[in-house]
Structure 1
Amino acid sequence: MAEKLYIYDTTLRDGSQGEGISLSVEDKIKIAACLDRLGVDYIEGGWPWANPKDMEFFRRAREMTWRQAKLTAFGRTRKPGGRADSDPNLLAIKEAGVKTAALFGKSWDLHVTAALETTLEENLAMIADSVAFLVAAGMEVIYDAEHFFDGFKANPDYALATLKAAAAAGAGWVVLCDTNGGCLPDEVAAIVTRVRQEIQVPLGIHAHNDGDLAVANTLAAVKAGCRQVQGTVNGFGERCGNANLCSVLPNLELKMGYQCLPAGQLSHLTEVSRYVSEIANVVPPGNQPFVGYSAFAHKGGIHVSAVLKASQTYEHISPHLVGNERRILVSDQAGASNLRCKAEELGVELSKEKEQALINGIKEMERRGYQFEGADASLELFLRKTLGEYRRPFEVEYVKTLVEKRPGREATSEAIVKLKVGEQVVHTAAEGNGPVNAMDNALRKALEEVFPVIGRMRLTDYKVRVLDEKDATSARVRVLIESRDGSGSWNTVGVSTNIIEASWEALLDSMEYALLKQSRNLKPN
């Protein structure tokens, strides 16, 4: 039977310290519930003394049922010269109403003397008093040894003494933190091995990613003896982030043979990754290992041909193990294998003649600046239209955009559209904070009454790239739009020397694809 590792998620606390990430109490509740369903062992809800929002989270969490995870309150050791039983930070942890606490304390002598401005002896007393106070209150205490690896390299005897103080006071776990994120895997492995010889309490690892090694350092620490793994979903966190659980978990389970999550739960990892990104309003990087949109995307014709014969030729694991899927990209570098696979995926039969015609058409479109590898929705519409299998459910008679700028006032934008839906002519206008937003609003206004699905989709990303920089303001531009509804996301593309026209083309494709998706879902199985 595989050895059990304990997974400690700190997305709601350490992850929310990442630049651009701000989670409401409701956001935190949703993410915590998602993590509990995934099957992590600990969910660090926040620092109740430092943030009223975190205390509100714990109040709300007490009203919920948690089937797997232990909710954990975070805090620091008592202040120098103070008492644990009157320290407001420790009292707030008790007030949070959870059974597990994570306390961080100083293990680097430089931090003790320069940051805390106290003695090394007093720091040991602070650690022991704080841990003992919460243990006496009936709590499981996880001691996070902040800056431990740097502290060990500077003064190993003192760094170990801080761990021994926590262990002697009753800490259930001692977690070694690479807080500055600058250690190398061989250093981590050697130091963890030494600590195991001195400390009998189970060890954990908390790695930051400033050297782009947080995942590697976490795996090295586990191999050397750590049995609790701390990290965040998608690697969210301060500066360069924390160890990314979306990479750590599959490596530990699929490559190293440990049990991290309940059986079968790893297959929900991609879903969790994207859900957390959506709640945090962060566009996930396409090339993120394991769970990224491009993690199992194949473009080169030789690659695709090989993958279709034996997936392991260009895939290190099967995508379904982490809930992801293989994607075959069609571009000017693609061969017949790519196109055949894409057609099969869409349920389209291709003759040799149609196949070659489509390849030539795609290569010509990409010569003009289109990029279908990042716009699967536009590619599907192009294929179906070219093969005569799709007709747009409405006709555009015209679209007009107006931008007005007066001295001392912000610019205003208005779009006017005239559409024909069946026999019905729809003529409407809408304003927006820019011409693209105005076109989006006008198109929605014209279509939502006939096609309610349009009201359930929204644009989540808009990118513009200049294709011919030497042509300056007359250059062609490529617009990529990402849209999303309750069941997923899709990407569309438009190209023109006129940025408004390119945006309109990508916008129109986006709404057409939403209607195509709905028509597929309405068909009987």
Structure 2
Amino acid sequence: MAKRIEFYDTTLRDGTQAEYFTLSVEDKLRVAQKLDELGIDYIEGGWPGSNPKDARFFKEVRDLNFKHAKLAAFGSTHHPRKNPEDDPNLQALIEARTPVITIFGKSWDIHVKEALKTTLERNLEIIEASVAYLKPHCEKLFYDAEHFFDGFKADKDYACETLKRAQAAGADVLVLCDTNGGTLPHEIVEIIKEVKKRLGKGVSLGIHAHNDSECAVANSLMAVLEGVIQVQGTINGFGERCGNANLCSLIPNLVLKMGYEAQSKNYLHRLTEVSRYVCEVANIPHPSYLPYVGHSAFAHKGGVHVSAVMRHPRTYEHIEPELVGNVRRILVSDLSGRSNILYKAKEFGIRLEPDDPMLANIVAEVKKLESEGYQFEAAEASLELLMYRLIGEPKQYFELLGYRVLDMKSTEDGLPLVEATVMIRVPPGVGVIEHTAASGNGPVNALDNAIRKAIGRFYPQLKEMALADYKVRVLPGKPGTAAKVRVLIFSRDNHEVWGTVGVSHDVIEASCRALVDSINYKLFKDRHKNKEG
């Protein structure tokens, strides 16, 4: 029987320490839902005692229903000069009301003396007291042994004693952290073997590796081979300095190549989608060369490679790309992308067969739009509307005939006056023409208000729809202000959140395309639900 491994994601906490990688509370909530859809076992939401953003996240996340994942709150052991019951950090962990609590403590004597400014014995007391105090307040408690491998190299007896104290106090898993990322795979093996000898066969260990020596994934794999049951990491390896162990590599390596069982195995086809989704939400480019999930991971360009792959993909591919939700990219073939389109069509309720000529048309159009800068990973509402239009069933409930935006600033200190005028036909083609104007806080808000004003009497349900987020990305190409931009809009109603996308050299035009898609999608899904009812 295959051994089981648990995946613990810390993108929302450790990942956000990466340079240029930031997530709002709303972003974190969306990413948490995606991680649950991937079958992640534990999602670390943040450090509730460290900042208001994380405290707010733990309040709002209670409204979400996770199908599998358990949420973890992260924090440190109590202050050297306080008792556990008086420590605000521990109280914040309890008030987060998560089923899992993860606390970290010092393993390296230099940190105890220089960072905590306390004695080695007092540090042991702090670890034991913190774990024992928190344990009754959660279903599971994980102890992160910070800087464990460096601490072990400096003083193995003391480093192991810190683990024993956490174990004695009731920690469910002792997580060995390579916090500086400087340990090599052969050292990981040797140290874990020694730890198991000292703590006994029944100890449950985890691994938390950083990537400063480009060994985070390798170190994690070697740790699992030595009996570690929990692997911590982040989506795409985001994290402080050079990042954390990349779960997008670890998950397929462990379940596809090493035969381990995990809940994520059932959702591996969503791996690429989640990887790209996180980048879109964080508004940063998705790294093309990521293993398994990168745009170039299964790309073949010319010559001997293409010829061989066309005969037998295994000649130059270590796995089938569809297993991780990616696609083979061969410029001379029209096969690329078919499986993904078929999968999405089924998800959207569109019936397509593999030999349907319409499938090739959809693939070609999607590829054309992607070459123009569109990305649909976080904008599935736009993709669904596009597919319905291409099969001859457009889900379009109004026609934007034209618009004008006036953005005027009269004084240096005053706020700009923004007004949008729109001309709209409802329904498209043969309906009534509405010509209205509205103001707003910025051009996009003004356009949104004007469109709603024009069609509100036809579709009163738009009152429950709101713009949840708005992101602009400058695309590679022409330099400076001549570049194309991609606008990603997230909208919500009382039931769900959806994303739409628009691309143009003009940011207003790109925004307008995404906005029109968003409103049309709201009307489409409402009508679909009414038919089902």
When the two structures are superposed, what TM-score results if normalisation uses the length of structure 1? Answer: 0.69
Q: Cα 1:417–1:229, aligned 2, differ >3 Å: closer, same or farther?
A: same
User: What is the identity, as a one-letter code, of the residue corresponding to 1:247?
Assistant: S
Identical aligned residues as a percent: 43
User: What is the identity, as a one-letter code, of the residue corresponding to 2:435?
Assistant: H
Counterpart of 1:479 (choices 485, 493, 509) is 485
Q: Is the 8 A contact 2:148 2:176 kept in 1?
A: yes
Counterpart of 1:415 (choices 408, 416, 420) is 420
Counterpart of 1:223 (choices 216, 220, 225) is 225
In the TM superposition, residue 157 of structure 1 has moved relative to its aligned partner by: 3.9
User: What is the identity, as a one-letter code, of the residue corresponding to 1:494?
Assistant: S
Q: Is the 8 A contact 1:104 1:145 kept in 2?
A: yes
Give CA deviations for 1:176-209 in whole Å, capped at 9, x if unaligned.
Answer: 1122334444443443344334332222111234
In the TM superposition, residue 115 of structure 1 has moved relative to its aligned partner by: 0.8
Q: Cα 1:232–1:431, aligned 2, differ >3 Å: closer, same or farther?
A: same
**In 2, distance between residues paired with 1:516 and 1:75?**
41
User: What is the identity, as a one-letter code, of the residue corresponding to 2:228?
Assistant: C
**In 1, distance between residues paired with 2:336 and 2:43?**
45
In the TM superposition, residue 489 of structure 1 has moved relative to its aligned partner by: 4.5
CA RMSD in angstroms, aligned pairs only:
5.7
For 1:502-517, list aligned pairs within 5 A.
503-504=508-509, 507-508=512-513, 511=516
2:327 aligns with: 326
In the TM superposition, residue 107 of structure 1 has moved relative to its aligned partner by: 1.0
Counterpart of 2:503 (choices 493, 499, 511) is 493
Q: Is the 8 A contact 1:193 1:225 kept in 2?
A: no
Q: Is the 8 A contact 1:16 1:22 kept in 2?
A: no
Q: Cα 1:266–1:140, aligned 2, differ >3 Å: closer, same or farther?
A: same
Q: Cα 1:140–1:441, aligned 2, differ >3 Å: closer, same or farther?
A: closer
Q: Is the 8 A contact 1:372 1:379 kept in 2?
A: no
**In 1, distance between residues paired with 2:144 and 2:522?**
48
Give CA deviations for 1:393-421 in whole Å, capped at 9, x if unaligned.
Answer: 87665433323222322333333233444
Secondary structure of 2:125's counterpart equals: helix
**In 2, distance between residues paired with 1:96 and 1:380?**
37
**In 1, distance between residues paired with 2:13 and 2:239?**
9
Give CA deviations for 1:312-334 in whole Å, capped at 9, x if unaligned.
Answer: 56654445544x353869xxxx5
**In 2, distance between residues paired with 1:155 and 1:196?**
16
Query: More deviation in 180-189 or 57-66?
Result: 57-66
For 1:295-306, list aligned pairs within 5 A.
none
User: What is the identity, as a one-letter code, of the residue corresponding to 1:413?
Assistant: V
Secondary structure of 1:177's counterpart equals: strand
Q: Number of aligned pairs?
A: 498
Q: Is the 8 A contact 1:102 1:143 kept in 2?
A: yes
**In 2, distance between residues paired with 1:219 and 1:373?**
36
Q: Is the 8 A contact 1:206 1:243 kept in 2?
A: yes
Secondary structure of 1:257's counterpart equals: coil
Q: Cα 1:316–1:519, aligned 2, differ >3 Å: closer, same or farther?
A: farther
Query: More deviation in 508-517 or 67-76?
Result: 508-517
1:249 aligns with: 251
Secondary structure of 2:484's counterpart equals: strand
For 1:94-105, list aligned pairs within 5 A.
101-105=101-105
Q: Cα 1:325–1:175, aligned 2, differ >3 Å: closer, same or farther?
A: closer
Give CA deviations for 1:145-199 in whole Å, capped at 9, x if unaligned.
Answer: 1111222333444323333443455544321112233444444344334433433
1:425 aligns with: 433
1:191 aligns with: 191
In the TM superposition, residue 4 of structure 1 has moved relative to its aligned partner by: 1.4
Q: Is the 8 A contact 1:454 1:511 kept in 2?
A: no
**In 1, distance between residues paired with 2:306 and 2:81?**
66
Q: Cα 1:68–1:27, aligned 2, differ >3 Å: closer, same or farther?
A: same
In the TM superposition, residue 224 of structure 1 has moved relative to its aligned partner by: 3.3
When the two structures are superposed, what TM-score results if normalisation uses the length of structure 2? Answer: 0.68
Secondary structure of 2:282's counterpart equals: coil
**In 2, distance between residues paired with 1:453 and 1:335?**
47
**In 1, distance between residues paired with 2:416 and 2:17?**
35
Give CA deviations for 1:369-400 in whole Å, capped at 9, x if unaligned.
Answer: x9436367999999999999989987665433
In the TM superposition, residue 126 of structure 1 has moved relative to its aligned partner by: 2.9
Secondary structure of 2:124's counterpart equals: helix
**In 2, distance between residues paired with 1:83 and 1:387?**
66
For 1:323-362, list aligned pairs within 5 A.
324=325, 326=327, 334-335=331-332, 337=334, 349=357
Secondary structure of 2:406's counterpart equals: strand
In the TM superposition, residue 246 of structure 1 has moved relative to its aligned partner by: 3.8
Give CA deviations for 1:471-513 in whole Å, capped at 9, x if unaligned.
Answer: x87xx54333335566864544335xxx47xx42774487369
Q: Cα 1:507–1:96, aligned 2, differ >3 Å: closer, same or farther?
A: closer
Secondary structure of 1:206's counterpart equals: strand
Query: More deviation in 310-319 or 244-253?
Result: 310-319
**In 2, distance between residues paired with 1:465 and 1:78?**
46
Counterpart of 1:462 (choices 466, 472, 483) is 472
For 1:370-409, list aligned pairs within 5 A.
371-372=371-372, 374=374, 398-408=402-412, 409=414
Give CA deviations for 1:106-144 in whole Å, capped at 9, x if unaligned.
Answer: 111111111111222332333344445556999764322
User: What is the identity, as a one-letter code, of the residue corresponding to 1:402?
Assistant: L
Q: Is the 8 A contact 1:479 1:506 kept in 2?
A: no
Q: Is the 8 A contact 1:284 1:292 kept in 2?
A: no
1:147 aligns with: 147
Secondary structure of 2:516's counterpart equals: helix
For 1:150-299, list aligned pairs within 5 A.
150-200=150-200, 201-210=203-212, 213-233=215-235, 235=237, 237=239, 241-261=243-263, 264-267=266-269, 269=271, 281-283=281-283, 285-287=285-287, 289=290, 294=295
Query: More deviation in 184-193 or 444-453?
Result: 444-453
Secondary structure of 2:206's counterpart equals: strand
**In 1, distance between residues paired with 2:136 and 2:394?**
70
**In 2, distance between residues paired with 1:64 and 1:390?**
32
Q: Is the 8 A contact 1:375 1:492 kept in 2?
A: no
Q: Is the 8 A contact 2:321 2:328 kept in 1?
A: no
Secondary structure of 1:374's counterpart equals: coil
Larger Rg: 1
In the TM superposition, residue 466 of structure 1 has moved relative to its aligned partner by: 8.1
**In 2, distance between residues paired with 1:390 and 1:62?**
37
Q: What are the ranges of 5 or more consecutive residues in structure 1 without an aligned counterpart?
A: none
In the TM superposition, residue 220 of structure 1 has moved relative to its aligned partner by: 2.9
User: What is the identity, as a one-letter code, of the residue corresponding to 1:463?
Assistant: R
Q: Cα 1:65–1:511, aligned 2, differ >3 Å: closer, same or farther?
A: closer
Q: Cα 1:450–1:244, aligned 2, differ >3 Å: closer, same or farther?
A: farther
Q: Cα 1:444–1:290, aligned 2, differ >3 Å: closer, same or farther?
A: farther
Q: Is the 8 A contact 2:488 2:499 kept in 1?
A: yes
